[in-house]
């Protein structure tokens, strides 16, 4: 009877030490997934004035990096690691509609960028800028 009980206690305690040195701290603002030493975090504030949901992509050197989805008529904030030597622009895919692309922006370390998706994509341009 003592052997199964001690085995059960050992198994229960082995699950308590999860994590370790290689696990990122979810509360640490500086630990951004996919960041390399040559990249700094930038903040992207998205204002979706369209009724449709949109998927936001950041573009660098022809590579599309998915930031996430923004529900219609809402605002959302994203953080991404970015090499300040490269300009950023955005591609917006609208669920059940037309998409758009923004102008290219130079960014510096810890930059704040805004992105505005208009109510009438196609009649009005998607715009991006720095704060």
Looking at residues 40-49, what average pLDDT do you find?
96
Residue 98's pLDDT band (cuts 50, 70, 90) = confident
**H/E/C letters for each residue in 115-131?**
EEECCCECCECCEEEEC
Boundaries of every domain in the chain = 34-130
Indicate the CATH number of 34-130 among 3.30.413.10, 3.40.50.11540, 2.60.40.2890, 2.60.120.430.
2.60.40.2890
For the whole model, what pTM was predicted?
0.71
Q: pLDDT (tens digit, 9 = 90+) per residue, 87-96?
A: 999 999 998 8
């Amino acid at each position: 009877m003592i052997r199964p009980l001690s085995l059960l206690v050992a198994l229960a305690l082995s699950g308590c030490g999860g994590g370790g040195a290689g696990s990122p701290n979810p509360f640490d603002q500086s630990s951004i997934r996919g960041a390399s030493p040559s990249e700094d975090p930038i903040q992207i504030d998205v204002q979706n004035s369209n009724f449709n949901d949109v998927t936001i992509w950041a573009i660098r050197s022809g590579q599309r990096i998915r930031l996430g989805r923004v529900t219609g008529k809402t605002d959302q904030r994203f953080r991404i690691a970015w090499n300040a030597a490269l300009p950023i622009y955005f591609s917006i895919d609208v669920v059940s509609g037309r998409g758009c692309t923004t102008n290219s922006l130079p960014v510096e370390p810890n930059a704040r960028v805004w992105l505005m998706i208009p109510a009438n994509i196609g009649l009005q341009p998607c715009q991006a800028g720095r704060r």
